[in-house]
Each structure stands twice: as C-alpha cells, then as structure tokens.
Amino acid sequence: MTEGAVDSLLREKGPNCERGYTCLKDFRQTTNTKQSDSYCSGYAGASNESAARIIVKVAQSCGINPQVLITTLQKEQGLVTHPAPSESRYTIAMGQGCPDTAACDTRYYGFQNQVYGAARQFKIYAEGRYFTWYAPGRTWNILYNPDRACGSSPVYVSNTATAALYYYTPYQPNAAALRAGYGEGDGCSSYGNRNFYQYFTDWFGSTVYKVDGAIADHWRANGGAGGWIGEPTASAREWNIGGSRGTSQRFEGADLYAPPGLSVRSTIGGTRDEYRLVGEVASGLRWPTGPVSAVRGGWYQDFQGGRIYVRPSDGAGFAVAEPINAVYEGAGNIDGMLGWPASRAYRFSDGARQDFAGGSIFQGPTTTMALNAAMTNAFMSAGGPDLLGWPTRIETIAGRTVIHSTRGMVVLGGASPIAVRGAIRDAFLAAGGLSGSLGFPSANERSEGEGALQVFAGGTLYNSQAGSFVVAKLSDALQRAGGVAALGFPTGGEAGSGSSLSQDFRNGTLTSGQRGSFLVRGAIGNEYRAMGNAASYLGAAVGDERAIGDGVVQQFEGGSIYCSPSATVAVPNAIAPHYEAAGGYSGRLGRPLARAELTDSGWTQRFQGGEISAARSGNDGGVIVGATLNTYRIAGGIAVLGVARGGEVESAAGWSQSFQRGIVFVPRAGAASAVANQEFSAYNGVDGAKTLGFAVAPAAMSDGVVQQPFQLGRTYRVGSSAVATRGYIHTYYQQLGGVRSALGAPRSNEYATAGGHRQDFSSGSILVSGTGAFVIRGALGAEYMRRGGESGALGWPLGNETASPGRWQQRFQNGTLVLFSDGTYRVE
C-alpha cells in the first residue's frame, strides 16, 4: 500500500472524530531517526509526519505488510476506528512491550516507537532463531487464555506469519469467542488473534490461493476442494534443484508435488509432517516418486533420495535418506534387524546417525554402517565416533564379534564390551592386531602413572609420551622389578630372541635370561641400548652392576660393559679371556677405549695399553702391545694379518708374534716389520721359522722386485706370488749380485733333486751338490737341461761356464759340454 492508500483507508474506517480528540487519520508526530540493523533498515526522522507516512516508512524499512500494521493497531487499541482515542492509546498503540503478566516497557512508548518496534519484533519472530516454540510446519498446543486453567488445544502452525501472530499474542480463541463474532465470549475467551483475522479479512479480503497446471489437474481429478485433498492452504512454490524446476502446493488434506518430467505425487499425514519438517524437496529426499504403501500396520513412501516411514505404534513419520537408506535397505529395512525407524537422521560428531527400533546406522565421512542394538550400545559406551571414529566393518573371530572403526575397534563376546582405540590401537595393529601375538584385549584401556595401558591375552600395551610399546615376554620380569611404578613406562620394544630378552623403560633397561632378570641403568644402560640391547652379541645381563677399580662393570651373556673415567665400552666374551689373562681392568692393558669390532677374521678391540684380537670362537687370540702393535697396525691390522694366534714370544733375536695371516718381528737390532700377504706364504713355504729366521726389514720394492730380508734369507715377489732364497744358495746368490745378477729373480723355491739341491731363476738355475754350487744359464744351460740336467748323462756341474776363442764350455762330472761358434754342441 502506498502512503495515499493508507491515508484513504484510515479516513474510510474512522470518518467521525469527537471534538477535543485527535483520531488516527489526523495524527501527526515529529519522528526520531533509528539506526539500521539485521531486521530493519532504519528510519530517517522528520517533523510533523502523519500516521499514514509513519506506517508506510516502517513497513518499507522492516519488510512488513502495512496491512498487518494497520490491523494490529486496530486489534490492540482500536485506533483505526476509535472516535475519541486517549493519549494512552497512542503511547501503547501496538501493545509492543506490554506483556500480559507485567507493566509495559517505557522504551517502546510513543506511536512511532510502537509501530517500528512491533514491525521489528515480527521480523525477529520470523527469523526463527530466538523464538521456536510455535515453529511453522508443526502442531502445537496453544492456550486459550493467560489463565492456564482455561486449557489449550493443538493448532497446526502452517507458516511463518501464523507463528509470528502467536508469538505476538500467544492465545487462540475458544469456541465461545468464535461464536461471538466481534463480541465477547466467556471467561476463558481471548480475542487478539480472532480480531486480527476478522479485521484483516473484512478490510483486505480473504486469502485466496491459486491452483493451476499439473497440480490443478491432479487436484480436480481427486475431487478438488470437496475431495480428500481439500482446500489449498498456501500458494504454489517453485523449486529449483540442480537446475531442474518443479512446483509444490499445500492443501488441507495433502501436499502435492509436480517434479520435472514426473507425475504429480502427494504426501499425507505423518509422511507429510516429516517431509515438511526435513525441508521437503530441498532435503536429501528430493522429490516423491511413489504413492504411500501400507506395510505391517504402517506405511512408507518412496522419494528420489530415500523413504519416509510412518510407524504403526504412534503414526510418527521418519525420513531415511541416502546413504543411510541404502544401508537400511541392505539390512532388510523394517523386516531386518533394525526394524522401524525411531528417529530421523541427526548431526552427530562429524557425520550423522539415525536410530531404529533394533539399532542405529552411523554415517561417517567415508563409510555408512548399520549396528544392531547390542552393537550400538557397546560402540557408544566405548566412546562412539568421538573417540573411535566411524564404524567400517564387522567381523567374527573365534566366536567374538569385532566392530572395526576408523580410529578403533570394539570387541564383544566377553563379560562386557572392550574397546581398543587411539595410540594403543595403532600399536596393536602394528603388532598384528587380533591375529598377532597380543590376541584379544582382556580389559579396557586404563590410565596409570605417566600414561595409559591396556592388557591383552598375549601381553600389555603401554602408551606414554615416549610412544606405544608392548610388554609381553618380559611381563613377569617387569612385575618382579616393581612394575611401571618402579621402572616407569616402556620407551622401546622388546629386543632379543629366545630366552635372552631386554626392553627399555624410563628408569632403565630390563633384561631377562637363563640367569634371571636384571636391570641395566646409567652409563652402562646407555651403551647397552646404543648397541642394540639383547639383540646385540651381549644378550641379557647375568648379574647386577658392580664396582671395579675406579669404575663399574656389568656382565652379560655375551660379554661385559665397563664404565670408567675414560669411556663406557663393552668387551665381548671372545676377547674377555685374553683381557683377563693380561690382568684385566687393573693389568697392563687397562681400560677398554673403544667398542670391539667384528670383522671377517674375528674380533679386535683397543685398550689403554694395547689391543686384543681374537677369533669369533675365542680359541685363537692374544694381546698385542708395544712395537708389535704399532707394526701390526701399520701393516693393516686384522684386515691383513688376521687375529693373533697367541701372545708375543721373546727370543735371542728379539720378539715375534704370530697371526692368522702373518707374523710381526721386532728384532733386537733392526727395524720392526710384518711378514704378510705373499711374503707370508713364501715364508711358510720354506718353513721360514727354521730356515729364514727373523725379518730384519719390511718388504719393499728393490730393482723391480718386492723383497723382504731375513736373518738367513730373503723373499722375492714378482707379480702375484713370492718365493724365498735361503741357506747356501741364498749366500751364493747374493754373492753373484742377487736380482741384479745374470740369473735375475728367483721363480721357485729351492728343491731337492738327484742327491743335491736346485733353485730356478728367471734366467737360469743354481745347483748345489757335493761338487759345489754352480750356475747353469744361457744356451749351454738350456742344452744341459735338454740332456737331462743333473739327472742326465753329464751329472752335476763341476764349474761355471767359461769361454775361449770360438767356443764356450762348462765342466760336468761326466764330461765338458762345449758350444761352438757355429751353434753345434759336443761333449768332451
């Protein structure tokens, strides 16, 4: 209505005004400016504004039909038609701020304040945020009178406007008030909403809803207003769902829906109530696709996105939408384990839940799962989705039902359900879960001390800031040690195998072996853990830590750990006998300085006073000290020489020590050296201990050959092999000039032949017999060898080769072999 239309109406309905009074048609007021908010866009105050202007400006600011404001002015104070309105009627013109049970609020006094406040209040009602007890789409019990003894009756509140009227005036007319028209009824009558209806329809006409299109065809085919569908109660509404448009309209007996491309469908009774409540087409159900179908005393109706079931016990309807509907159908719907719905789906944690007579369906972000009543109770008592996440599957193992969820599991079948969840559940799954060594849980998780624990058939899982760890094989040992109250929670898993086990706890490492259970702490405990606990060669402890000298020691199955001011170091059993034989901690070797190293050859370990090397078995081994140790290390240590085969041996010549693949010599006079590699093979090949004596210098390259000198001989290495010269042949060879002589380097060791000895060289041989030592070489030597050499007809040489003009000759036992310049040979 325009300002002019309102002014005309006020003059029409209140034409007569008594002298001395100002009627509404003539009322004027200087108005105040009001700030905008989320309900009204404010009001620009002005001087000398008429009632009609105030009404229209307020209507436009707050979005309220001016007809509603005019009707309210009449039903509250009769201001539209009153011929002699008092000033007080303008003060509380709309009844705004004037409850039935208290004095009026002076903040709302004055005509402008009353109209603006009432319009704004209607918008607050319509918001449905603070006022919900007459929410539209439902049936409410509404009083007849402020006196509650007058009673109430159910009223279906169809829309927001009706709800707002009941919030503004929360009473309905009783039968006496309705019979009285505009007059008075009885002592329990109230008139506000009755009068509003009557004034509105008398002044502005009846509310008439248009019915057309497919809905009209369906409505008329079913008897129209006189049929079971009845009169329309609202205008048609258009829906745009995913770009597809359809319409719906409400009637007294049903709501009709015309989906795009489908025939008209209706909702009635409990189905209609529920469909309206969940949002109709805008809900997950979308459009209805079928008629109501009776089933087992109740009924259901299909929709594009699910069903609405109306249960027989009380006629209550419940929507079951996808994806819950698919799971419900898969479980047999009302004929399955879940039976009739008991609620609609509701927001639950970060998903949704819907309850049924026989259980619930849980809809999580990724899975939707049905649980029967017993499972639902167990799952919820264990913490539900908040603690366990959402159910993902159900399995039966060893006669027990297990509900798996995204963050846990619940085991049924015992005296009470048991949950496994959180960090303990993660560790449980890492240990193999129900099929692993832990097996089924025996009790629910409980807090204790610095964390939480849960007992399983095969052990206990402990969780603290250090992590989650299983105590299984060491459970008894832990209890004997005072449990976690004494040791604290575990900080690592069990280590070791068989009967040799260990596990780290906050206050130390617990070990268990054939000798019992012992605790490893402090610096020794740190080293033990760094080495791998019982999984290392040390195994389990066999006793408690004890003092030794200026330190402490603790013995283990595979060795001992010594803690000294110098270092904390483990000594393996293979090295221990040699260490003890040398006086141990207080002996010549003193404290161990570094961890023992295990190589292909065996063990080696450094001490303050030397080094020990030993075979893996411990049979071979020895202490290496002093110059021998320095030489041993320079030569490549255990990697080259292997482990010691005993201790150092002193002789007149000096000191020597044998190793798996070499010998170290420290002569009293001369440089210390090691005999190793091919030199060691050559040394052994000639029984060097007897024939060569002490090495007097290291092996070194000389004249293109690697040579190592000994007291009684020398080794020579050309390529990948070495040989030795010794005894008289060695002396004679050196007199000739050694490798610089015409013979070159030896290519074999000396060997016995035909009653004498012989050694071959790259360019000849030296033969030694009773006749002396002589050289065979060159062309004469080659001819001598072709004739059988020392075993041939010529026998042993009696001298070296000589030359004269035109010939070369060498004397042998049975003749002289002559080579002439023409290349012919003759024996003389």
- What's the rounded mean pLDDT across residues 324-329? 97
**pLDDT confidence bin for 223, thresholds 50/70/90:** confident
Residues 537-566 pLDDT 10s: 999 999 999 999 999 999 999 999 999 999
What is d(CA 652, CA 658) in angstroms, rounded to the nearest whole number? 17
Is residue 225 pLDDT above 80, yes or no? no
Q: Which of 366, 319, 373, 370 has its CA nearest to residue 341?
A: 319
Is residue 101 pLDDT above 80, yes or no? no
What is d(CA 701, CA 134) in angstroms, rounded to the nearest whole number? 111
- What's the rounded mean pLDDT across residues 234-255? 92
**pLDDT confidence bin for 231, thresholds 50/70/90:** confident
**pLDDT confidence bin for 349, thresholds 50/70/90:** confident
In degrees, to the nearest 5, what angle opens at C-alpha 470 toward C-alphas 467 and 471?
125
List, in sequence order, every residue forming a beta bridge with 726; answer none if it has no partner: 713
Sequence length of the chain is 828
- What's the rounded mean pLDDT across residues 3-11? 96
Which tokens go with 696?
A: 């007097």
111-125, 174-188, 191-205: which range is least confident on average? 191-205
Domains of the chain by residue range: 3-204, 750-828
What is d(CA 769, CA 752) in angstroms, rounded to the nearest whole number? 10
Buried b / exposed e over 617-632, threshold 16 CB at 10 Å, is ebebbbbbbeebbebb
Confidence at residue 205, expressed as pLDDT on a 0 to 100 scale: 55
Is residue 503 pLDDT above 80, yes or no? yes
Query: Which residues are CB-neighbours of 558 under 8 A, at least 6 positions away?
Result: 536, 537, 538, 539, 572, 573
Confidence at residue 207, expressed as pLDDT on a 0 to 100 scale: 64
Confidence at residue 1, expressed as pLDDT on a 0 to 100 scale: 87
List, in sequence order, every residue forming a beta bridge with 408; answer none if it has no partner: 405, 421
Confidence at residue 102, expressed as pLDDT on a 0 to 100 scale: 83
Q: Give yes or no for a contact between 440 and 496, defined as CB atoms under 8 angstroms apart.
A: no
Residues 117-151 pLDDT 10s: 999 999 999 998 899 999 999 999 999 999 999 99
Residues 742-756 pLDDT 10s: 999 999 999 999 999
Query: Which residues are CB-neighbours of 103 under 8 A, at least 6 positions away?
Result: none
pLDDT above 70 as % of the chain: 99
Mean pLDDT, the chain, whole residue set: 94
Residues 629-653 pLDDT 10s: 999 999 999 999 999 999 999 999 9
Decide the pairing of beta strands 568-572 and 597-598: unpaired
Nearest-10 crossing angle of helices 66-77, 3-13: 30
